[in-house]
Amino acid sequence: RAGQGTPSSSADLQVVSLFAGGKITDNFGAFMQWTGQKYANLQSGSQVGYNAAAIDNTEFRYADRTVTPNSDLILGAYINNRAMMSDVWNNFGAWESGWINYFNPGGPLAPTTYMMGESSQHAAVGVGGYFFKDKTWYGELAVYKSPTHGPFSMLTAG
């Protein structure tokens, strides 16, 4: 360990995520992320709660496409634990990160950082539906709730 304020050559793996996703049936698929972090409270830089792990961005989705000579329609439905995760063009904040978390217990020079207040994002489960008509019109509607018990409460563990 390096001295106070001195750079160290030791590695400190702070956050790790495992991803899995793909087709389950012809119309049903899933995406799941599990994240483990060395320090449970990165927002304050505290070392309290070592080695926290939980389910992270997760979505189960159904989609079907109907093509006729005059129309092309995609309809879908999903359940997930992250608002805006379903955005098919990935242009909302569900996949953004302001910076990589940094924690160095070796000295007072290390900044304390946070992940843009994202911890509250996984406290709700959403159900939604969407359509994409003639490769021109897209619409989506979803509702979110914070379940405290029941089968969907496992999605709010993160």
pLDDT tens string 95-118: 555 444 444 555 555 444 444 444
All residue ranges of the chain with pLDDT < 50 are: 1, 44-48, 98-103, 110-118
Give the pLDDT score at 116.
40
CA distances from 32 to 20, 132, 143, 144 (A): 5, 24, 20, 18
Closest among 87, 108, 107 to 96, alpha carbons compared: 87
Q: What local confidence, expressed as pLDDT, does residue 137 receive?
A: 95
Q: Look at phi and psi of residue 35 and say left if phi exceeds 0, alpha if psi is from -120 to 50, else beta.
A: beta
Contact 127, 143 (CB under 8 A): yes
Q: Tell me the pTM.
A: 0.66
Tell me the C-alpha distance between 64 and 11, whole Å: 46
Query: Residue 99's pLDDT is what?
Result: 45
Quick one: pLDDT at residue 115?
A: 41
pLDDT of residue 114: 41
Would you kindly state where each structural domain of the chain is located, as residue ranges? 15-156
Tell me the sheet residues that pair with 31: 21, 59
State both tokens at 89. 């063009």
